[in-house]
């Protein structure tokens, strides 16, 4: 397992670098976020020992169970929250995560602003856009994205640095990547979190600065 993870990380990192170069971009303009959800802390530690430092989790409770211990050993790790955040978990999320990628609705934005003022902890945030307008999926609809960005950034004062999306599973992701890039461009946001195991190279061609890769690094996940 340990050897596999190091080898998988090396292979995925190489593909990230090749995709960036192929797109005429600097290799270090893309950050690989290793998505460790459902995998135990011992597995994450293998990735840390292989030199990787940036991780993604989609549940606050799971992040709290795994990462404080790992952070003691590896103080320079960075944890991104990439899954839906309930307002009653905002305080916990701010204390355990370094980046919140899933700001997706006004009530959550308000709760984050309040708790940031209270705690003084202000991790950078991304707004999640539901580019496919899927009813069951998190994210602000594209038509409401500009107004929501203004609300978060200018009225609530959230440290919004970019956008994130998870395209519909059965659609060509390029259209969604292009849409996210366009919303970011017109709002002058420089960070784009898009692309997963199946399509991260394509996302890099469309300007992804962060790719969130789980399966290609850690293997298949069991059922949650």
Ligand X SMILES: *Cc1c(COP(=O)(O)O)cnc(C)c1O
To ligand X, the closest distance from the beta carbon of 117 in angstroms equals 27
Please, what is the minimum distance in Å from the beta carbon of residue 154 to ligand X? 26
Angle formed by the axes of helices 142-150 and 173-186, to 10°? 30
Residues shown for the chain = 224
Binding ligand X by CB under 6 A: which of 31, 58, 151, 209? 58
* Closer residue to ligand X, CB minimum distance, 37 or 46: 37
* Residue 126 near residue 33, CB atoms below 8 Å: no
Near ligand X by CB under 6 A, which window of 86-94, 152-160, 181-189, 211-219?
A: 211-219
Mark the segment that binds ligand X (CB under 6 A) among 13-21, 149-157, 179-187, 196-204.
196-204
CB of 35 to ligand X, least distance (A): 4
Q: Which is nearer to ligand X, 129 or 196 (CB)?
A: 196
Please select the residue that binds ligand X; options are 30, 125, 191, 213, rule is CB under 6 A: 213
| Residue 87 within binding range of ligand X, rule CB under 6 A | no
Question: Which residues are paired to 164 by β-bridges?
Answer: 128, 193
For 47, 51, 212, 223, the CA distances from 44, given in Å and listed in that order, are: 5, 11, 15, 18
Helical residues (DSSP H) of the chain, grouped into ranges:
2-22, 41-49, 60-73, 90-96, 106-119, 142-150, 173-186, 200-205, 215-218
Helix (H) or strand (E) holding 78: strand 78-81
**80 or 156: whose CB is closer to ligand X?**
80
Smallest gap, in angstroms, from Cβ of residue 168 to ligand X? Answer: 13
Does position 82 interact with ligand X (CB under 6 A)? The reply is yes
Q: How far apart are CA 193 and CA 212, in angstroms?
A: 7
The C-alpha atoms of residue 88 and residue 219 are separated, in whole angstroms, by: 32
184 binds ligand X (CB under 6 A): no
Applying CB under 6 A, does 61 fall inside the site for ligand X?
no
Measure CA of the first residue to CA of the last residue in the chain; give whole Å. Answer: 20
Interaction between residue 197 and ligand X (CB under 6 A)? yes
Among 32, 52, 66, 83, binds ligand X (CB under 6 A): 83
State the residue for tokens 């940036």: 54
Q: CB 166 → ligand X: shortest distance, Å?
A: 5
Residues at the contact surface with ligand X, assessed by CB under 6 A:
35, 37, 58, 82-83, 166, 196-198, 212-216
């Amino acid at each position: 397992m340990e050897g596999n993870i190091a080898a998988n990380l090396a292979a995925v990192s190489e593909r990230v670098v090749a995709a960036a170069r192929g797109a005429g971009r600097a290799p270090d303009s893309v950050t690989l976020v290793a998505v460790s959800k459902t995998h135990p802390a011992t597995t994450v530690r293998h990735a840390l020992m292989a030199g990787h430092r940036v991780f993604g989790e989609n549940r606050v409770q799971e992040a709290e169970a795994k990462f404080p211990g790992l952070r003691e050993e590896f103080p320079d790790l960075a944890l991104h929250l990439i899954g839906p955040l309930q307002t009653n978990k905002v305080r916990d999320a701010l204390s355990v995560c370094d980046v919140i990628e899933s700001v997706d609705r006004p009530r959550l934005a308000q709760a984050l602003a309040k708790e940031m003022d209270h705690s003084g902890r202000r991790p950078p945030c991304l707004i999640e856009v539901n580019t496919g307008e899927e009813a069951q999926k998190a994210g602000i609809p594209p038509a409401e994205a500009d107004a929501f960005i203004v609300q978060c950034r200018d009225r609530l004062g959230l440290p919004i640095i970019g956008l994130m999306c998870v395209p519909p599973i059965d659609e060509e992701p390029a259209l969604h990547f292009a849409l996210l890039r366009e919303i970011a461009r017109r709002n002058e946001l420089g960070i784009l979190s898009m692309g997963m195991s199946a399509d991260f190279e394509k996302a890099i061609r469309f300007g992804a600065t962060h790719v969130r890769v789980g399966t290609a690094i850690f293997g298949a996940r069991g059922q949650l």
